[in-house]
Amino acid sequence: MDSSRVSAIKVWRLGEPGAGTDVSAVCRVCLPRVCTTWLRNSYQSVWDKFKSQTTSNFHRKFYHYGTFPEGFSWGISSSAYQIEGGWNADGKGPSIWDTFTQTTDTIPDKANGNVACDSYNRLNEDLYMLRALRVKSYRFSLSWSRIFPDGTRKSLNQKGVDYYNRLIDGLIAYNIKPMVTLYHWDLPEALQKVNGWESAEMIDIFNDYCDFCFATFGDRVKFWITLNQPQTIAWSGYGLGNMPPNVVDPGYRPYIVAHNLIKAHAKAYHTYDDKYRQSQGGLISIALNADWFEPADVNVVREVVTADRAMQFQLGWFAHPIFKNGDYPDALKWQVGNKSEIQGLPQSRLPSFTEEEKNSIKGTADVFCVNHYTTKIVSHVTARLQPHSYEWDRDMREAEEPDSPTTAIPNQKAVAWGLRRLLNWIKEEYGDPEIYITENGAAVEWDDSERVMFYKTYIDEALKANNLDGVRLQGYTATAFMDSFEWLHGYKFLFGLHHVDFTNPDRPRTPKYSAHYYYNIIKNNGFPFPDDEKMLYGHFREDFMWSTASSAYQVTYTFTAILLLRS
Ligand code: BGC
């Protein structure tokens, strides 16, 4: 019996729906859940569907010509802390990223976002570039502490509001749809002082901030994203602790913080739904990060189960409650519950939702927004039990995809075919939602033509998902608008389609080759069949004679055999 079955049994003993049931009864219930149901499950079909391509680079890499549906939302992204600068301008309060970057020496060159691209003072340049690129949407985030310096409404900073009004009005004037992220990691420092996302009080505090933003900007903003990458917030901020607020507690706090984030998202969704949707008519969702996980051996069921588990631990942690049933995926409940029991804990480290909470979380996103960068190869391991950790709870080992080009960031290989599979998985797993890719891009060493290749291949895989697999893809967002502060990498690894000269106080911006290339993709709405290749394709004359050939010696034996069988 493999360990995933053992987990299942044990968790059901601990666990929510089956608590108190005796083991033999549980076995009858849960074994089919792991085996039969699993084998029938839709997401297995995604690995199955692409199985034949796994060994054949030709199929995996063939180039697909075609265009996206009319009205496809081509966009580009940034976030407040990465580009704005003006960290204390005009009454802005500090955020946890200001505090962190100004005190740590772990970021290359001790870089920070104090000035960054200086977008706070260079709005017109930014608008000009967006217009030149002809994007249909611009994804940016609001700096919470620029609007509410201490995180709450009573500290309202009108100058911060004015800045975003100018930005939004400028976009509308150029016919660019604002896609606004309410929270892209830069929590007001004042809220961190009262325990930040560890505290359930944040649910109401965040909701009030969102309420203010909907009321203030919602007449023009029709696409809201509550949180950017809650998995990163929970794991990097509270597990690994390499991002602010730098809490190192891999076994507990990530789960607690994620729990609060999910509830905070759901509450903000309902506020929009109840108070604003009817008059404003916009959409609201959450941007979830997802790598694609490919099993080390697609023919070994246990490895495919592991790849599925990896998907559930990263994407499903948030997507399952929001897009499915208000609750965590079984894989998470089983794994964390089982490990917790073996670790001698009185209850699972994974908190549980009440029925009322489940009902209020379920269905709280109008479209599926996904940020995607890379693919990993995973295989099963029975991971260690100490220290307690989300990472070990997954029982898996990650490796790099061997055949794909590297990018500047060591663990982010450019594995374009992974995007198509990811989109298929989302389609199957979450009931064919409308999907927006809200981030996709690469940092490259020197040569921007590598970034061009990245976009060419990744967008082509998105096109295949849309045109060949029936994925309902509505939009694509390239990351990033311009070179900017890349969090823990500082200014060392840059994702921009526009170069920014950070040595010059004017921060001049210059489009790169990739900006020109992306402009053309947008203009063509994809990759229409090129004229110079059309001549290679065509039809023969009407009376052209199609035939086939054989020779007596080659076929006689077969004919004889058939005659013998018939007689
Ligand atoms: C973040 C972006 C960032 C990108 C590349 C993503 O996880 O959401 O803000 O630019 O990573 O570092």
Q: How do the domains of the chain map onto residue ranges?
A: 67-529
CA torsion through residues 60, 61, 65, 70, sign = positive
On average, the pLDDT of the chain sits at 90
Active site residue 356: no
Specify the pLDDT at position 563.
Answer: 56
Which of 341, 439, 450, 486 is catalytic? The answer is 439
CB atoms within 10 A of CB 538: 6
486 CB near ligand 1 (under 6 Å): yes
pLDDT reported for residue 198 = 98
Closest CA to 228 of 186, 190, 266: 186
Q: Is 79 in the pocket of ligand 1 (CB under 6 A)?
A: yes
Task: Give yes or no for residue 43 having a pLDDT over 60.
Answer: no
Task: Write down the CATH superfamily of domain 67-529.
Answer: Glycosidases (3.20.20.80)
Give the position of tokens 């790169």: 512
Residue 14: per-residue pLDDT: 31
Residue-wise pLDDT for 432-456, tens only, equals 999 999 999 999 987 899 999 999 9
Site to substitute for ligand 1 among 479, 482, 495, 497, most atoms within 8 A of C-beta: 479
Task: Name the pTM for this structure.
Answer: 0.89
- Phi-psi region for residue 110, left (φ > 0), alpha (ψ -120 to 50) or beta? left
What local confidence, expressed as pLDDT, does residue 136 receive?
A: 98
Q: Are strands 498-500 and 509-511 parallel, antiparallel or unpaired?
A: antiparallel
Taking residues 218-247, what's their average pLDDT?
A: 98
62 or 431: which leads in pLDDT:
431
Q: Ligand 1 within 6 A of 137 CB?
A: no
Query: Residue 524, SS3?
Result: helix
Q: Which amino acid, residue 290?
A: A
Tell me the backbone φ, ψ of residue 374, rounded to 5 degrees. -155, 175
End-to-end, the C-alpha distance of the chain in Å comes to: 52
Rg of the chain over Cα atoms, rounded to whole angstroms, equals 26
Residue 439 Cβ inside 6 Å of ligand 1? The answer reads: yes
Q: Which residues of 283-295 are buried (b: 16+ CB within 10 A; e: fewer)?
A: bbbbbbbbbbbbb
Kindly state the average pLDDT of the residues 28-38. 39
Burial class (CB in 10 A: 0-12, 13-18, 19+), 89: middle
pLDDT digits (tens, 9 = 90+) for 289-326: 999 999 999 999 999 999 999 999 999 999 999 999 99
